[in-house]
Amino acid sequence: MRQMDFQGLKLFSALQGKMSWLERRQKMLSENVANANTSDYTPKDLKDLHFSDVLVRTSTSAAKVARTHPNHQSPPSEVRGGEVYHVKSLETQRNGNGVGLEEEMTKLADTRMTHELVTNLYRKHAGMLRVALGRGN
């Protein structure tokens, strides 16, 4: 039986992009925790892709994001997300370190839960496609 390739499907492409972003964020947050006692260390994080950014990235000429009401925001002209930024800490230690361990651990837990959610979405949609193609149950 031939292996199914989901790379060309936009849904799977978006899910893989989110998983890649989550992996990068987890690495960055882990570095923040590892440097919790390093003098003058400023914690970093990644800007997230927002839903509208994902729509712009994955939209086709048949389906574009549109502004349908004057109070709606205009669709973004370019996709953003994944840029590194320095976190402005609420607390800074005497040595100039800005890492808040509770905040970093909360972000790590959120990242882990989101990764599990995206992984489950990927698995469920792949299973539905297999069933639809008569290759699984």
14 band by pLDDT with thresholds 50, 70 and 90: confident
What residue segments make up the domains of the chain, in order of their start?
Answer: 10-47+82-132
Q: Which of 1-5, 39-43, 117-121 has the lowest mean pLDDT?
A: 1-5
Q: Is the pLDDT of residue 109 over 90?
A: yes
pLDDT at 30 over 90: yes
* Verdict on whether the full-model pTM lies above 0.85: no
The pLDDT, as a whole number, for residue 10 is: 85
SS3 readout for the chain = CCCCCCCCCHHHHHHHHHHHHHHHHHHHHHHHHHCCCCCCCCCEEECCCCHHHHHHHHCECCECCCCCCCCCCCCCCCCCCCCEEECCCCCCCCCCCCCCHHHHHHHHHHHHHHHHHHHHHHHHHHHHHHHHCCCCC
- Does 75 score more than 60 pLDDT? no
Highest mean pLDDT among 32-36, 44-48, 70-74, 81-85: 32-36
pLDDT > 70? residue 52? no
The pLDDT assigned to 79 comes to: 46
Query: How many CB atoms neighbour CB 18 within 10 A?
Result: 20
pLDDT recorded at residue 66: 66
Helix 101-132, helix 10-34: angle, nearest 10:
160
How high is the pLDDT of residue 11?
A: 87
Query: What's the mean per-residue pLDDT of the chain?
Result: 81
Would you place residue 107 in the very low, low, confident or very high pLDDT band (cuts 50, 70, 90)? Answer: very high
